[in-house]
Amino acid sequence: MKQLLAATLLGTTALAASAQGGPMPPEGWQPPAGVLSLSAEAVAEVPTDVVRVTLAAEQEGAEPSAISSALSAKAQQVIERAKRVSGIQAESGGFTIYPSTDRNGRISTWRGRAEVVLQSRDFSAASKLAGELASQMQVQNISFSLSREARRAAESKLTEQAVAAFRDKAQTTTRLFGYGSYTIRSVQVGEAGAVTPMPRMYAKAAMAAAEAAPVPMEGGKAQVTVTVNGSVQMLK
């Protein structure tokens, strides 16, 4: 767990805000004494448990309507095949048809691309299915993430750690300033979400060579962060 902690006197902050053109305090106002601003952070590396696989097929021809029909049929076949596998979710991805021109600017041919996205918590099943579908659609990239349940479980543990770090820092800093104890004035707890590994891109030639073979899948870890920010009133 990493902790990032900082302490500043609130009175100084308030005066600085006034100097920068902020609203002026009432006449005779004095900044509260012994107010301390703090922040704490707890971070953990959590194994990813969801895989997302993007499959794609491309086609070229003279008639865009024929290309569209062929790609739509292929994508639908792949989706229906994937949905028969337990634990696999499948949905349509990107779909594009565009012209290719010659040096004179005339349309020489049409190209199309269709994508299907697979998602699963069963890495083994997704790996096997992606290999079996390689003759129809090839893997373009694979990404990993945390399920909502895994992220919430991690955030729950990290919240306890971040709050404990905030309280420990408040107590330690309070004593360093010559005070005996403190009370909390305000506090905010926030989750920064999960930072996941970068998607892995796959070359078309490499995937064609590995047709019908399971696609290697190793999820790695995602970074989850919880922060606590607030201020305390130091007491004598």
Whether 77 and 130 share a structural domain: yes
Helix, strand, coil content of the chain in percent (nearest 5) = 35, 40, 25
Domain range for 177 is 33-44+148-191+225-233
Structure tokens at 77: 């076949």
- 38, 5 Cβ separation under 8 angstroms: yes
Global confidence as pTM? 0.72
Per-residue pLDDT of the chain (236 residues; tens, 9 = 90+): 444 333 434 443 443 444 445 566 677 666 678 899 999 999 999 999 999 999 999 999 999 999 999 999 999 999 999 999 999 999 999 999 999 998 888 999 999 999 999 999 999 999 999 999 999 999 999 999 999 999 999 999 999 999 999 999 999 999 999 999 999 999 999 987 666 665 555 555 444 445 567 888 888 899 999 999 999 999 98
Shared domain check, 137 and 100:
yes
Give domain status of residue 205, yes or no.
Answer: no
Query: Is 54 among the domain residues?
Result: yes
Task: Give the residues across from 76 on adjacent strands.
Answer: none
Residue 6 lies in a domain: no
DSSP 8-state assignment for residue 152 = H
Contact between 61 and 110 under an 8 Å Cβ cutoff? The reply is yes
Q: Do residue 133 and residue 64 come from a single domain? A: yes
Q: Please report, to the nearest 10 degrees, the dihedral formed by the alpha carbons of residues 10, 12, 14, 15 taken in order.
A: 170
**101 and 160 within one domain:** no
